Amino acid sequence: SGGEQSPCLFQFREDGFLVLEHFFTAEECDSMRTQIQRIIAEMEVPAHCRTEFSTKEDEQLQAQGSSDYFLTSGDKIRFFFEKGVLDERGNFLIPKERSISKIGHALHARDPIFKQITHSSKVQELGRKLGLERPVVVQSMYIFKQPGIGGEVTPHQDATFLHTEPLGRILGFWIALEDATRENGCLWFIPGSHTGGISRRMVRAAPGASTCVEFVGSEPAYDDSRFVPLPISKGGLILIHGEVVHKSELNRSESSRHVFTFHVMEAKDTSWSKENWLQPTPELPFPSLYT
């Protein structure tokens, strides 16, 4: 029966997030970590990371290459690197597996292990408990938060990047594949900050613009003291409302903070913004969460 879940759901609606410790097993976490190592071992460094800078024009081409690589990553498995890990010829200054910031955005569709986790029966069951009628998976990412260099993620709302009409149709599933602590960059939230709409949108820039995306509106200055840290142990799941304000700090520790995360949209009576950077493609329409 779903009855005993209602305090949890009440908490989620109050706070805009919900911590479910030990949602996945250690074995499931390790299978994702092993799989990502395989994917990295086979990785070809993208061409736009390897160009040697010389002229302004080359830099523009480089930026354009990066933006095309990002904009067309919605239905592929692609690699994004931390700053300062490649020299001007595109050679790694540190071991490549320590240089990657994230891998996205279609692991849930293109890789068997991540697909299995995303559509696992417990995730589907949770979707039903949440009352999702036609949930579809819009994107997924593996985030490394590398030791010492894993950058901070400034306060934001996921709906800034994944805009829907109406709002309130985006839900993040954030899975800790290792313990996430205050030292290695756990998430911080402002409880209850999901009820005031969104302050900023990232939209595709007009063709010919110098950047591939631009921001409309601005992120307000959030009061630091309102953020609450959510450390969580390996296998834990954090549900994230699309409009709750959250952030993570720089990883100052010696240990990484690997995470697999994916976003789901309630597709019933919802329209996905044509201005979002991420768009479904004929090769990969957003797949149903329910199988």
CATH superfamily, region 7-272: q2cbj1_9rhob like domain (2.60.120.620)
Per-residue pLDDT, 46 = 86
What integer is the mean pLDDT of 249-274? 96
Q: Any residues with CB less than 8 A from the CB of 194 and at least 6 apart, and which? A: 15, 16, 157, 241, 242, 243, 244, 245
Residue 1, pLDDT > 50, answer no
Question: Shortest CA distance to 263 belongs to which of 117, 138, 155?
Answer: 138
* DSSP state letter for 193: T
Query: By the 8 A CB rule, do 278 and 105 touch?
Result: yes
pLDDT at 246 over 80: yes
With cut-offs at 50, 70 and 90, classify the pLDDT of residue 54.
low
Query: What's residue 209's pLDDT?
Result: 77
Q: How many residues belong to the chain?
A: 291
Total-model pTM: 0.94
| 264 bridge partner residues | 137, 171
* pLDDT for residue 40: 95
Q: What is the spatial distance between Cα 193 and Cα 156, in angstroms, rounded to a whole number?
A: 11
Instruction: Say which residue the tokens 């970590």 belong to.
Output: 33
pLDDT for 102-137, tens place per residue?
999 999 999 999 999 999 999 999 999 999 999 999
pLDDT value at residue 2: 46
Question: 81-97, pLDDT tens digit by residue?
Answer: 988 888 877 788 988 88
| Spatial distance between the Cα atoms of 146 and 151, rounded to a whole number of angstroms | 8
Whether the pLDDT of residue 66 is over 90: the answer is no
pLDDT of residue 19: 97
Task: Give the helix/strand (H/E) hosting 140.
Answer: strand 135-143
